[in-house]
A and B are shown apart, each in its own frame.
Chain A
């Protein structure tokens, strides 16, 4: 049956037909094919800030001052103007200014003199409209590994997480990490699930689990690393107290002092840390139970376990994400892979850890095909963040979109080796928190676009002078709109390397494109919207 897809036909269709059960949202999202951000205002005069993102509910636009000291929050407003003449469409848009689209709500200073805001870090607590920001002092690369810190991880004197009420910018709570290292770019080292926050201290190899209370307090729930249960350390210290040798009580007093200084792990770091003990015992039991024959078992343990024992002990926690309220997906790897780039080159391991029962549930190597198949089929189970909000459920993935799956299969076929491909795909696990834009223009069932130039993943990308085309998925695959970053006439120096980033509003046909040229401080910001 031939169907017209213009907006009037669709509205009429909506009036007379009931969509198939469970597809009403899908049907109404089809209107996005008709309502596209096809009009561009080039090189908008706007405040000299770095624009970070729209919050997932579309309420706020987050930006930071150029010196990275202040947070400036805007409310996106829809441009409205009236026109008296007859041929309104031929008139230019009267307001070409930034503040016709965005109203500044407030500006607050987050960073003190020797700190800067980590502009690649921002998490939004949608249920309470709280924002989590981070400031830090400069990074020290050759920091000595003292007080239980591991060698080879840089140190930051002070990292502060600020919890703000975005409505008015009021500071609600702070959490400070001293002489520690948290991977802040792209929210890598921090994961938010409902009201639970997991912060990975790379330097002290601890996963700090915090709860964001409705009152706006950050409350420590547990620290996973040296110990597993929240009261393990207390239990241990109170237990040893009465049982030690009387003539050892003096050394014990000393240990007690060390505990107060947070240095107790130096004195007896010969014991395996809590999470390492769980990991090693899980691996051991796996091999032990796999082989029932006594002599076979001995050989297996020797080759697979004892030979690699030190390598397993040396593994460090790289990255963590929640799978649900109790289960964490933890990536383990070597020290050099955790801090450096190209992490996919290194061998790494994935563990599912239940922090309630303190059990390792599963353990995989990063080339494991069974984990890859889970990832291919059930990708959405890994993207667990803020799925409670409606439009977040429509982010395309190869598990929910046939088009994305097709694309994945295509890359898989082109890949030279299957194990390399699986390694590369699994390198994206654990997912970075809130790194995908829920904008319907990235819905692969509606539009086709070049994933190399633009995608729902928030990243800076190399940009060309050519506009990025969004083509309808439906027949006859017409060009629906173009997004062109940079000046209208193209850049003056065509050879200069340019970097673009795109901020799409979660549901309005409104987007910002920001193009920066290397060695030039200024950036060109375009506003894309539906006129």
Chain B
């Protein structure tokens, strides 16, 4: 594993211990690293050549298993003009296990709980090794445009979404203005 930061021209190179721990623990099970690592690398190439609109993702630092993703709130939704950052963490068993996705920016959405965890079918039981990071990003994008109130993590928001859409959208827009600019 290349831990040399000489090409790194920016600020101090302190990496979080957790990301190092993931890197080293996965290095010990080398057969997994090579297959999951290669797979992630391939998906990155695929993503880079044809990224979904208004979103982007890339590895944080030099850790292939920890990505950061950015979504620009889609126009016409209460999330418009917001910038949302997410953590995407790939398990070493990837693609047989789904990646874990957590919002790092506060969002008012019935599919995201108060700690930022995302509820998406394809990230739980609906996961299939045939899915790719591009598919995951598209699925996340869908909760901005079409939240799913019937599989909600926050029932209060889901209820508001169904009962009083205007109030829901006003609140979501206010959250975007306060926490996602």
Contact = CB atoms under 8 A, between A and B. Distances in A.
A297 to B, nearest CB: 8
A297 B154 CA distance: 35
Given A235-B178, A280-B85, A308 B11 contact: yes
Interface string A301-319: 1100111111110110000
Contacts of A349: 11
A484 B3 CA distance: 57
B181 A302 contact: no
Contacts of A298: 47-48, 51, 56, 58
Contacts of B91: none
B83 A306 contact: no
Contact of A359 (B48, B56, B181): B181
A232 interface: yes
Interface string B114-150: 1110000000000000000000000000000000000
B179 A274 contact: yes
A254 to B, nearest CB: 13
Nearest to B157: A243
B61 A307 contact: yes
A260 B12 CA distance: 36
A349 B11 CA distance: 10
B163 interface: no
A347 to B, nearest CB: 5
Contacts of A309: 60-61, 68
Nearest to A306: B58
Interface string B18-55: 01000000000000000000000000000111010000
Interface string B159-180: 0100000000001001100111
A306 B51 CA distance: 15
Contacts of B155: 243, 245-246
A310 B156 contact: no
Interface string A64-102: 000000000000000000000000000000000000000
A281 B179 contact: no
B73 to A, nearest CB: 11
A284 interface: yes
Contact of B70 (A245, A271, A284, A347): A284
Contacts, number: 122
Nearest to A312: B11
B13 interface: yes
A306 B68 contact: yes
Contacts of A310: 14-16, 19, 60-61
B11 A315 contact: yes
Contact of A295 (B49, B59, B115): B49
Interface in B87-120: 87, 102-106, 108, 114-116
Interface string A279-292: 01100110010000
Given A285-B83, A298-B51, A239 B105 contact: no
A471 to B, nearest CB: 45
A480 B38 CA distance: 77
Contact of A311 (B12, B106, B175, B178): B12
A245 B19 CA distance: 32
A245 B8 CA distance: 45
Interface residues of A, number: 47
A232 B114 contact: no
A163 interface: no
B12 A334 contact: yes
The main secondary structure of chain A at its interface with chain B is helix
Contacts of B51: 294, 298
B118 to A, nearest CB: 12
B62 interface: yes
A154 B87 CA distance: 31
B76 interface: no
A30 interface: no
A87 B154 CA distance: 95
Interface string A218-258: 00000000001100100110011011111000000000000
B181 A281 contact: yes
Contacts of B83: 277, 280-281, 284-285
A9 interface: no
B78 to A, nearest CB: 14
B89 to A, nearest CB: 12
Contact of B154 (A243, A288, A358): A243
B139 to A, nearest CB: 20
A232 B11 contact: no
B151 to A, nearest CB: 13
A422 to B, nearest CB: 17
A112 interface: no
A272 interface: yes
Chain B CB within 10 A, most for which of A271, A272, A285, A358: A271
B104 A271 contact: yes
A334 B10 CA distance: 12
Contacts of B87: 270
A255 B8 CA distance: 40
Contacts of A272: 85, 104-105
A165 interface: no
10 contacts: A244-B114, A271-B105, A272-B104, A277-B85, A277-B179, A295-B49, A301-B70, A307-B10, A310-B60, A358-B181
Given A243-B160, A307-B59, A311-B14, 4 more contacts: A236-B106, A244-B154, A302-B59, A311-B10
Closest 10 CB pairs of A and B: A243-B156, A306-B58, A281-B83, A302-B58, A311-B11, A298-B48, A334-B12, A308-B10, A347-B11, A309-B60
